[in-house]
Amino acid sequence: MMAWLALFVCIALEVAATTLLKLSDGFARPGPATASLALYGVTFWLLAWVFTRLPVGISYAVWSGVGVAAITLIGWVAFKQSLNGLQMLFLALILIGAVGLNLTTGATPPDGGA
């Protein structure tokens, strides 16, 4: 359970880092750029820990899928980027897949079950 919570913290940090990367205007604004890099560092450090407790393929699929869906919705709402009905359908399918993987995958012991 703790590994799944950590994975969702990773997703939130990665989405925040990606949003800051957009706000950095191609690294022209040092504040958002620096914050983005710091958040990416924490994200990958925590994700490495998650990989010791959840299957790497499943956790990476959930991390990337939910992150893609979240940042796409942020782009749509905050940055007024276009998103059509078919794209929304496919984002919903990504989220359905992530939830399904979460519901059907248990955590493994830190020693890998050996």
73: its two tokens: 């919705």
Quote the domain boundaries for residue 15: 2-104
DSSP one-letter string for the chain: -HHHHHHHHHHHHHHHHHHHHHHTTTTTSHHHHHHHHHHHHHHHHHHHHHHTTS-HHHHHHHHHHHHHHHHHHHHHHHS-----HHHHHHHHHHHHHHHHHHHH-----TTTT-
Domain membership flag for residue 109 = no
pTM, rounded to two decimals: 0.85
Domain membership flag for residue 57 = yes
Average pLDDT of adjacent 10-residue blocks, the chain of 114 residues: 94 98 97 98 97 92 92 95 94 90 77 53
- Domain count for the chain, please give it: 1
Residue 114 has a pLDDT of 46
